[in-house]
Amino acid sequence: MTRRPQNTRDRLTQTAARLFQRSGYNGVGLTEILTEARAPKGSLYHHFPKGKQDLALAAASWASDGMRDMIAASFNDAQDFRAGVTTLCHKIAKLFDSSPQWETCPIAATLFESPDNPTFRDHADRLYESWIEDVRGHAERFGVAHPDMAADTLFIVMQGGWQLARARRDSNVLRRLPEHIPWDRFQPDGECGLTRPDPDR
């Protein structure tokens, strides 16, 4: 949230991230990015030799870092896993309200437009998995029953909820997201055959 991105590279990355989120990778031209970032074309191809593709990868990574910060902020000082999830949902809802342009998952908008591009696919996969792994870490820390599944559930519900909130133009969909999660399956005394991995600590 720096008010003045110093170097041209960061300015390009963040401007591109914002515009890609709004209109998708193919929906934004280099001219538009360059104009808004107040940078000439030469700078772009100096910092990003492969042009638009490199820029998209950098923009997606930057956006992903923002999401990971939000995940950390939500879970770090939470009482339990469920509280962390609730906080995260509210944070996302607030973000949804604050900017009408934040309307697509930044990763999906930037990297999911060309299924034939393996570089984009792999990068998106890696970024998504980093979110899920972060959440799984917190789930383990709080001792939930199936941390892997809990992390997957949260990801699924967040992505789907985002989509529904967008269609309905209603951030409350995101705030009510915890209601769609099967909490009893994640309680430490789960009914499943799996035992808790680490009781103490």
* Interacting residues with DNA (CB under 7 A): 7-8, 26, 28-32, 39-43, 45-47, 50-53
DSSP one-letter code for 188: T
Token code pair at residue 122: 């792999």
Q: Exactly one of 73, 134, 183, 190 binds its own copies (CB under 8 A); which one?
A: 183
Cβ 177 to DNA shortest distance, Å: 34
Q: Can you tell me which of 1, 49, 79, 100 binds its own copies, judged by CB under 8 A?
A: 100
The least CB distance from residue 154 to its own copies, in Å, is 9
Q: Is 171 in the site for its own copies (CB under 8 A)?
A: no
Crossing angle of helices 147-168 and 81-98, rounded to 10°: 20
Burial (CB count within 10 angstroms: exposed 0-12, middle 13-18, buried 19+), residue 166: middle
Amino acid found at 10: D
Burial class of residue 49 (count of CB atoms within 10 Å of its CB; 0-12, 13-18, 19+): exposed
Say whether residue 184 binds its own copies (CB under 8 A).
Answer: yes
> How far is it, in rounded angstroms, from Cα 179 to Cα 175?
9
Of 7 and 99, which CB lies nearer to DNA in the complex structure? 7
25 is an interface residue for its own copies by CB under 8 A: yes
Rg (CA), the chain: 19
Closer residue to its own copies, CB minimum distance, 43 or 132? 132
* C-alpha angle 26-30-36 in degrees, rounded to nearest 5: 115
Region from 33-41, 45-53, 55-63, 177-185 binding its own copies, contact rule CB under 8 A: 177-185
Q: Is 160 in the site for its own copies (CB under 8 A)?
A: yes
User: Which of DNA, its own copies, none sits in contact with 152, Cβ below 5 to 8 A by type?
Assistant: its own copies
133 binds its own copies per the rule CB under 8 A: no
